[in-house]
Amino acid sequence: MAIDTRGETADKPSGEKKAKRTSPALFYRQVVAELRKVIWPTRKDLISYTIIVLVFVLIMVGIVSGLDAVFTEGVLRIFGGA
């Protein structure tokens, strides 16, 4: 069920005047139409994606913390920290 939006595209052909603004009602209908096309993840997919993201973030926190500790130690050795 697509909504006919001919003549109200976001692309402006070169040399034409400024495009007419989209009405709030048309914008809302377009948003609803696009959301109907979305394939929403299942609960299982969502849980696995969340675990993957959390593991990745924890690994990145570990890497950044380790590099911070190494650089801090190096700067303190070079400049004679207290």
> Stretch 61-82: mean pLDDT, rounded?
92
> Stretch 29-40: mean pLDDT, rounded?
94
Q: Are both 45 and 81 inside the same structural domain?
A: yes
> Stretch 7-30: mean pLDDT, rounded?
75
pLDDT at residue 46, as a whole number: 97
What tokens does 38 get? 């979305």
Q: The domain containing residue 53 runs over which residues?
A: 41-82
Cβ neighbours of residue 26 under 8 Å, at least 6 residues apart?
Answer: 5, 8
Confidence of residue 57 (pLDDT cuts 50, 70, 90): very high
Q: Are both 18 and 31 inside the same structural domain?
A: yes
Residue 68 has pLDDT above 70, yes or no: yes
Nearest to 3 by CA among 22, 29, 27: 29
Q: Are both 7 and 31 inside the same structural domain?
A: yes
pTM (whole model) above 0.85: no
pLDDT at residue 19, as a whole number: 75
Q: Are both 20 and 45 inside the same structural domain?
A: no
Indicate the number of domains in the chain. 2
